[in-house]
């Protein structure tokens, strides 16, 4: 463990000012990811800026019918919130599929978005890893890559984003509210996380010193027809090999609106609007779901150990869409 300074932020402006002034400072919320990474010597912050006392714990209904969730609302409180259960059950399902009750009690909304990859080599400081040490190489491409990406990877990094919550947020078209020294801005969740390209050290499009203050969900929650399917090695306490958030709006025998997002397959939650366009106006049936799966996975590429994920994802997409439509699984 390294030496670091500890500061408790007095307000949001104080937090972002301190983070901007010290490039290796880190915000700390629940600490369930950051402290582990510090113990493993992967993260070496010079200062921890404790944001847990900031007023970011509210869940508010918005005038347009949406819902704003503060960055410090614990994951378990989101999943149990009556408004989320009633209007955004897909989000509740995805959160409850992750980690354990104790972890969800500690984990914050903002921290969940910024949790880092579970690539084994990222955690092992004895091995090369471009995400941890830019320019050192990627041990996973020719190493053990069973958990790794089948979509959107680069020669520099084939890691996956591990969050379950973010897959549902991508399907629900959430927006991330952030604050920095030059003011506040909103980023669509689908543009928040990055593909690795040749800068895999950057997981997101946050600027240095920026802090997440909230996420916002639009009014459309797909409460009637949704599914979150998570496939993993153990039934609990394991990250997704493949997960699917599927949401449909049905009009009689026709799909009026559709959303499909994948987790465990790429450096970010994977969503492709052309697949949703294909589903719109079609009959909710297996042949249509199979076409959607083929389109969503058209560029999927295995690395060897993870080749099985392509067929797993194909079946998971079909099954999740069938569940969302209300058919037998
Ligand atoms: C054993 C184990 C199993 C798990 N299983 C799953 C799983 O199956 N599915 C899943 O989705 N997750 C899983 N998780 C991950 C867990 O969900 C995350 O660790 C948690 O959500 C992180 O939230 P936190 O508040 O503790 O973040 P912290 O550890 O406090 O912070 C994480 C990162 O976010 C930054 N940060 C925190 N808040 C903000 C903010 N408001 N603005 C800007 N930066 C911020 C920190 O600087 C840090 O870089 C698991 C974790 C563990 C330890
Ligand atoms: S996949 Fe990414 S995180 Fe894993 S070793 Fe390669 S560069 Fe590092």
pLDDT digits (tens, 9 = 90+) for 120-175: 999 999 999 999 999 999 999 999 999 999 999 999 999 999 999 999 999 999 99
The residue whose CA has the least distance to atom 6 of ligand 2 is 138
What is each CA distance from 42 to 22, 131, 234, 321, in whole angstroms? 18, 10, 26, 38
The rounded Å distance from CA 234 to ligand 2 centre is 23
In this predicted structure, the answer to whether residue 226 has a pLDDT above a threshold of 80 is yes
Strand order of the β-sheet with 254-263 is 226-231, 242-251, 254-263, 270-271
Q: How far is the CA of 269 from the CAs of 135, 169, 193, 324, in angstroms? A: 25, 9, 8, 19
- Ligand 2 binding pocket, CB closer than 6 Å: 117, 119, 121-122, 129-131, 138-140, 157-159, 200
Is-contact 37 30, C-beta < 8 A? Answer: no
Tokens of 61: 């209904």
Q: Containing H/E element for 229?
A: strand 226-231
Going edge to edge, which strands form the sheet with 5-8?
Answer: 5-8, 47-50, 25-28
**How many angstroms separate the alpha carbon of residue 124 from the centre of ligand 2?**
10
Q: Minimum-distance ligand to the CA of 156?
A: 2
Question: What is the pLDDT confidence band of residue 327, given thresholds at 50, 70 and 90?
Answer: low
Residue 50 pLDDT exceeds 80: yes
Contacts (Cβ under 8 Å, ≥6 apart) of 189: 166, 169, 170, 173, 174, 175, 176, 215, 269
Integer CA distances (angstroms), 300 to 115, 260, 287, in order = 24, 16, 20
- Distance (Å) from CA 197 to ligand 1 centroid: 23
What is the H or E stretch that residue 248 is in? strand 242-251
Tell me the pLDDT band of 328, cut-offs 50, 70 and 90: very low
- Ligand 2 atom having least distance to the Cα of 117: 3
The secondary structure of residue 34, as a DSSP letter, is H
Can you tell me the distance from the alpha carbon of 170 to that of 269, in angstroms, rounded to the nearest whole number?
A: 7
Residues 288-298: what's their mean pLDDT? 98
Three-state SS for 221? coil
Mean pLDDT in residue range 247-251:
98
pLDDT band at 2 (very low <50, low <70, confident <90, very high): confident
Q: How far apart are the first and last CA of the chain?
A: 48
- State residue 112's pLDDT score: 98
Say what the pLDDT of residue 14 is. Answer: 98
Distance in Å, CA 133 to ligand 2 centroid: 10
Q: Residue 9 pLDDT > 60, yes or no?
A: yes
pLDDT band (50, 70, 90) for residue 206: very high
Nearest ligand to the CA of 133 is 2
State which of 11, 107, 202, 215 you would mutate to test the pocket of ligand 1, scoring each by most atoms of that ligand within 8 A of its C-beta: 107
Q: Which of 158, 160, 305 to mutate to test the pocket of ligand 2 (most atoms within 8 A of CB)?
A: 158
DSSP letter, residue 245? E
Task: Tell which atom from ligand 1 comes closest to the C-alpha of 94.
Answer: 11
Which residues, including other chains, have CB under 8 Å from residue 304's CB and lie 6 or more apart? 145
- Write the residue with the smallest CA distance to atom 21 of ligand 1: 112
Q: Which of 15, 20, 29, 47 to mutate to test the pocket of ligand 1 (most atoms within 8 A of CB)?
A: 29
162 alpha carbon – ligand 2 mean position (Å): 13
Alpha-carbon distance of 238 to 220, in angstroms, equals 30
Residue 319 pLDDT? 98
Which ligand 2 atom is at minimum distance from the Cα of 158?
A: 1
Give the number of the atom of ligand 1 that is nearest the alpha carbon of residue 114.
34
Average pLDDT, the chain: 97
CA of 267 to the centre of ligand 1 (A): 16
> Residue 118 and residue 81: Cα distance in Å, rounded?
28
Alpha carbon of 203 to ligand 1 centroid (Å): 13
pLDDT above 70 covers what percent of the chain?
99
């Amino acid at each position: 463990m390294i030496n670091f300074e500890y500061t408790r932020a007095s307000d949001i402006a104080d937090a972002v000012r301190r983070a901007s002034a010290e490039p290796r400072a880190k915000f700390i919320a629940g600490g369930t990811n950051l402290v582990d990474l510090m113990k493993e010597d992967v993260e070496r912050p010079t200062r921890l800026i404790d944001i847990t006392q900031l007023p970011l714990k509210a869940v508010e209904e918005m005038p347009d019918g949406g819902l704003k969730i503060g960055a410090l609302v614990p994951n378990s409180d989101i999943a149990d919130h009556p408004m989320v259960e009633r209007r955004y059950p897909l989000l509740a399902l995805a959160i409850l599929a992750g980690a354990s009750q104790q972890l969800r009690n500690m984990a914050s909304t903002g921290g969940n978005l910024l949790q880092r990859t579970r690539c084994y080599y990222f955690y092992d400081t004895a091995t090369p890893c471009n995400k941890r040490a830019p320019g050192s190489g990627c041990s996973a491409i020719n190493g053990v890559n069973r958990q790794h990406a089948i979509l959107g990877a680069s020669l520099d990094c084939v890691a996956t984003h591990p969050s379950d919550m973010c897959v549902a947020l991508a399907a629900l078209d959430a927006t991330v509210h952030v604050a920095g020294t030059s003011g506040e801005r909103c980023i669509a969740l689908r543009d928040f996380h990055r593909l690795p390209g040749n800068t895999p050290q950057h997981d997101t499009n946050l600027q240095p010193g920026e802090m997440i203050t909230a996420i916002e969900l639009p009014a459309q929650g797909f409460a009637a027809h949704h599914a979150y399917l998570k496939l993993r090695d153990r039934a609990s306490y394991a990250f997704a090999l493949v997960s699917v958030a599927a949401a449909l709006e049905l009009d009689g025998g026709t799909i009026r609106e559709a959303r499909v997002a994948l987790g465990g397959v790429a450096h970010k939650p994977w969503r492709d609007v052309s697949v949703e366009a294909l589903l719109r106006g079609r009959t909710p049936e297996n042949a249509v779901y199979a076409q959607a799966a083929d389109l969503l996975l058209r560029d999927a590429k295995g690395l060897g150990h993870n080749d099985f994920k392509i067929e797993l994802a194909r079946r998971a997409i079909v099954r999740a869409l069938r569940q969302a439509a209300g058919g037998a699984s």
